[in-house]
Amino acid sequence: MPDKPGSRSSGFDRRAFLAGAAGGALIPLTARAASEDARAPAAQDPALPVEVTLNVNGKDKRLSIDARTTVLDALREHLKLTGSKKGCDHGQCGACTVLIDDRRVLSCLTLALAAEGQEITTIEGLATDDRLHPMQQAFIDNDAFQCGYCTPGQIMSAIACVKEGHAGSEADIREHMSGNICRCAAYPNIVAAVKQAAPEIMKG
Amino acid sequence: MTAAAPGPRTNMGQPVPRYDAAAKVTGRATYASDMPLDNPAYAFLVTSAIAKGRIDRFDLDDAKRVRGVIDIVTHENAPKLKESKLYSNGGYAGTTIQPLKSAEIAHDGQIIAVVVAESYEAAREAANRVKVSYSAAAPTATFDSPGTTTAAAKGQNSQFKEDPKVGDFAKAFDAAEVKLTASYETPTQHHNPLELFTTSCTWMGDNLVIYEGSQYVHGLKHGVAEQLGIDADKVRVVNPYVGGGFGSRGSMTPRTAIIAAMARRLNRPIKLVPTRDQGFTITTHRAETRHEIKLGASRDGRLVALRHEGAEVSSRPDAYCVGGTKTTTRLYACPNVDSLVSIVRADRNTPGFMRSPPEVPYLFALESALDELAVKLNMDPVELRRINDATRDPIDGKPYTSRSLMACFDEAAKAFGWSQRSPQPKSISDGDWLIGYGCAATCYPTLAGPSAARVRLQRDGRTRVEIAGHEIGTGAYTVIAQTAAERLGVPLEKVAVFMGDSDLPPAPVAGGSNSTASTCSAVMMVCDQIRQRLFKALMPSDSLADKAKETVGISPAPSTQAAKSDRSLDIEKAFDALGVGVVEEYGEWKPEGAPLDSFRAMHSGQVRLVGGHQMKDQIAYAFGAEFVEVRINRFTHEIRCPRLVGAFAGGRIMNPRTARSQLMGGLIWGMSSALLEATEIDERNARYVNDNLADYLVPVNADVPGVEVILLSEEDDRINPVGVKGLGELGNVGTNAAICNAIYHATGQRIRKLPVRLEDIEL
């Protein structure tokens, strides 16, 4: 995929950043101060803002952010798209699920920099002209949520689940929707919603 | 009509879709941390790595060097905050352990510093660079750890006044033909609502706005005001949507006032998003419990003696307990009852209510013991419960307002196919899988609390309902809108409901399954005030005004059709007669038997819930029966629960769709409390080990193949004007016992300690 105009114009050195970040992750906290000087010349301060352009719901958004910013925090804190939720920030709950180039991705485990040049679709990008996406409508029809906090992630995951061909049976849906925790436990209703929406989504 | 929207039976409302459905499926529903802030600074917590001892020294140099750090607060420089008493002692707090006050550490994971920075990333990095030197002491973790102290709950917990007893237990147990003594254990659990325990604070001059997921906005408002030492009218708590509560957001935690005070000092909004693991120690949890049950019965199955002794772990300073003997001593007819609840103190954070706080652990013990007794008597466990069904509270002799326990057993048994069960353990199998069936009763007290509401009606029928209730996923918006639409006779789509804002008229805490009863009773009353005004305008004669008055209070709501055809005409004419454009009414409702200071307390952010066994002349509980199938692999010992069937009677069902969903979620919670959920404690260090969503097991979709919810028709006009008993906590009680009873049926092995792990199965 060709680079989008304006991408990576900051002169940010990805290799230097990764070296610094990975080193930081591996060095125990107590030893960190001692090693700081040794690697300082190679590592850029990650808090220095980096220019990045994200394509979100069909629109290019230019941001100046901390290089460690995840796609989730870029959406929520910088683009004010708060539909994607933070439930664990560890890739354990699925509330942050978005589609990146049509694949379901945990946006809390994806750096914004790494998503540059890819198409990000969030819950806010599903409905068109006041018409709900079939999966959104199916979630309403089947009461597939209670508190609603996991719902954006469930819906994004459900759309991908259908497109991946994993909505053939209830058991299949259950298995492939198990990366998204619903603490209210609306699970049987979520399965019913995926079943309802699947044919329409497959039709295109 | 989908399975999600069962058709209403007698005394049920319409299964309309949720009021907030479109907002929730489009991402437009704004939870606390979604609220836009003007140039916020980001806070990150540093929490204690020891459970007991003191902080000798902080080294903040490294942390301060992180680019973007604005402020680091420790006990040495923290804003001074006033202490708040426990909510049960006239305060607002869920714990009296106030962090950042001194160098002392009372529990693992206590907040010891807060970093504020220009970005979340910088705050996180700096927090990780805070170095702490401790003088650690050996902490006491839990039951059996050296250093615990144990004392009776009575006398130290203001809400646990009496150990229920009646008759002469010792004598009757001695003389009983059949006896059972058994001990049970339940683990520590954490609510883990999916929304993190975030707090955003922003000041506008002297006025503070707090965005925080709360199950009690008025309580939080008054609590934070008290801690900051400012007028409560200057504090506003806003959370139109809450990403799950389950009890975790019912009382104030220390974090809120800390962030508020730091935002004031910084003169800038601060947003705190704690991590998932921090959520395990900066809020509350369900404490681990131990039980001993003694049952004495005649050979024909009649209970003659029942004793329930329970023990619960709490923190050093706070005597928290759930004391479920208030329910287990009253569930079955038995003339000789004894009980005792004790509190065991350890170096832990203070526990708090978690979905069905008393009933989940205490009914696990009782409903397991009853199954064991049925085996001893060679009797069907359903029949054992039928023989001992009660019409009166066995302790006080008061009649139940209504009790459909056996009707629930019969409907659920039929749907489950219980009659096909062969009672012998290990008698059913399918290939490598041993199959077992089990059942248990559930019940939950019917509670309500004082609530206010404001309703505004326009000539064209547009209606605005304002009430500081809470949408934690229960369907509160929906049933309140339905109540107003029915009562005023306006179309549902013309009703707008505003909740989750402490500037609105106060409603009780969204806990104890009281919300629907309390808020809908208040809204109904205020709608009736509007009806009265309209009627009076149209027909000023006394008799007709009296007739209008009759509709106020305890009377069934008019049917939707009748309301639609008559009232819309009335409304327009009445507005013409009144010569106004808007009619607005405010009212305050309180349940019968509410204490004299109810309304004063309501306006001070304190709750006076009444009901259950504490009513004057009667006792009110909701009931249900749960049946489960378990399958256990004879080689791997893997335990699966393919079928959960529950039948429930909860008075009027406002909306069968939201009711079914809540009970379905409850059943799955119940399964989870039997097979999945436990917070593991490192006993040497008094630390929670599995403090994340990968290691703290909660159900996922693949864990839950089949759940069936049956809603029974039940009418009860003695509980509250809307006739609602509350369902939020009914579904997950007893399920844990039903599963262990089914495991016994599958394997012949009785398991008395939760959760059941595959290594516990011995085949």
Task: State the pLDDT at residue A47.
Answer: 75
CB contact under 8 A, B2 and A192: yes
Task: State the pLDDT at residue B742.
Answer: 98
What percent of chain B shows pLDDT beyond 90?
Answer: 93
ipTM of the assembly? Answer: 0.96
Phi, psi at residue B312, to the nearest 5°?
-135, 145
Confidence label for B532 from pLDDT (cuts 50, 70 and 90): confident
Strand partners, B175: none
Confidence label for B673 from pLDDT (cuts 50, 70 and 90): very high
- Each residue's pLDDT expressed in tens, for chain A with a length of 204 residues: 444 443 444 444 444 444 444 433 443 344 333 444 444 445 578 778 999 999 999 999 999 999 999 999 999 999 999 999 999 999 999 999 999 999 999 999 999 999 999 999 999 999 988 899 999 999 999 999 999 999 999 999 999 999 999 999 999 999 999 999 999 999 999 999 999 999 999 997
Per CB-CB distance under 8 Å, the chain B contacts of A65 are 119
- What structural domains and CATH numbers belong to chain B? 1-30+400-446+620-763 (3.30.365.10), 449-607 (3.30.365.10)
Task: State the pLDDT at residue B571.
Answer: 83
Strand partners, A117: none
Dig out the tokens for A87 from the structure.
């439930």
Dig out the tokens for A74 from the structure.
């870029």
Q: How far apart are CA A96 and CA A83, in angstroms?
A: 9
Residue B438 and residue B644 in contact, taking contact as beta carbons nearer than 8 Å? no
User: Torsion over CA of A102, A186, B352 and B252, rounded to 10 degrees?
Assistant: 60
Residue B514 and residue B730 in contact, taking contact as beta carbons nearer than 8 Å? no
Q: How far apart are CA B618 and CA B613, in angstroms?
A: 7
Query: What is the total residue count of chain B?
Result: 763
Instruction: Please give the DSSP secondary-structure letter assigned to residue A203.
Output: H
The string of DSSP codes covering B727-749 is -TTTTTSSHHHHHHHHHHHHHS-
What distance in Å separates residue A123's CA from the closest CA in chain B? Answer: 6
Average pLDDT over chain B reads 95
Phi, psi at residue B303, to the nearest 5°?
-70, 130
Residue A193 and residue A158 in contact, taking contact as beta carbons nearer than 8 Å? yes
Strand partners, B670: none
Q: Does B708 touch chain A (CB under 8 A)?
A: no
Q: Does B470 touch chain A (CB under 8 A)?
A: no
Strand partners, B210: B201, B237
**End-to-end alpha-carbon separation of chain A, Å?**
24
Which residue among the candidates B118, B312, B729, B762 is catalytic per the annotation?
A: B729
B515, pLDDT greater than 80: yes
CB contact under 8 A, A147 and B704: no
Per CB-CB distance under 8 Å, the chain B contacts of A121 are none
Ramachandran area for residue B46 (φ above 0: left; ψ -120 to 50: alpha; else beta): beta
Size of interface A-B (CB pairs under 8 A): 211
B729 is catalytic: yes
Residue A91 and residue A109 in contact, taking contact as beta carbons nearer than 8 Å? yes
CB contact under 8 A, B122 and A47: yes
Contacts of A130 (CB under 8 A, 6+ apart): none
Considering only the beta carbons, identify the residue of A93, A140, A174 that sits closest to B705: A174
What are the pLDDT digits (tens) for B546-581?
Answer: 555 544 333 334 443 333 334 444 688 889 989 999
What are the pLDDT digits (tens) for B235-274?
Answer: 999 999 999 999 999 999 999 999 999 999 999 999 999 9
Task: Summarize the confidence of residues B196-213 as an average pLDDT.
Answer: 98
CB contact under 8 A, B24 and A151: yes
Per CB-CB distance under 8 Å, the chain B contacts of A141 are 2, 4, 17
Q: How far apart are CA A77 and CA A72, in angstroms?
A: 8
Q: Are strands B451-458 and A119-121 parallel, antiparallel or unpaired?
A: unpaired
- What structural domains and CATH numbers belong to chain A? 14-124 (3.10.20.30), 134-203 (1.10.150.120)
Per-window interface: A 1-20 vs B, CB < 8 A:
none
Per-window interface: B 509-568 vs A, CB < 8 A:
none
CB contact under 8 A, B694 and A149: no
Residue B39 and residue A177 in contact, taking contact as beta carbons nearer than 8 Å? no
Considering only the beta carbons, identify the residue of A46, A85, A142 that sits closest to B2: A142
Per CB-CB distance under 8 Å, the chain B contacts of A46 are 121, 125
**End-to-end alpha-carbon separation of chain B, Å?**
45
Considering only the beta carbons, identify the residue of B121, B694, B702 that sits closest to A174: B702
Task: State the pLDDT at residue A15.
Answer: 46
Considering only the beta carbons, identify the residue of A143, A147, A175 that sits closest to B5: A143
Per-window interface: B 93-132 vs A, CB < 8 A:
119-122, 125, 128-129, 131
Task: State the pLDDT at residue B546.
Answer: 55
Q: Does A184 touch chain B (CB under 8 A)?
A: yes
Per-window interface: B 275-334 vs A, CB < 8 A:
275-276
> To which H or E segment does residue B445 belong?
strand B433-445
Residue B722 and residue B522 in contact, taking contact as beta carbons nearer than 8 Å? no
Contacts of B744 (CB under 8 A, 6+ apart): B371, B375, B425, B436, B438, B750, B751
Q: Are strands B303-314 and B289-297 parallel, antiparallel or unpaired?
A: antiparallel
Residue B722 and residue B659 in contact, taking contact as beta carbons nearer than 8 Å? no
Considering only the beta carbons, identify the residue of A83, A143, A175 that sits closest to B702: A175
CB contact under 8 A, A151 and B25: yes
Q: How far apart are CA B423 and CA B745, in angstroms?
A: 7
Min mean pLDDT across B85-99, B212-226, B423-437, B538-552 is at B538-552
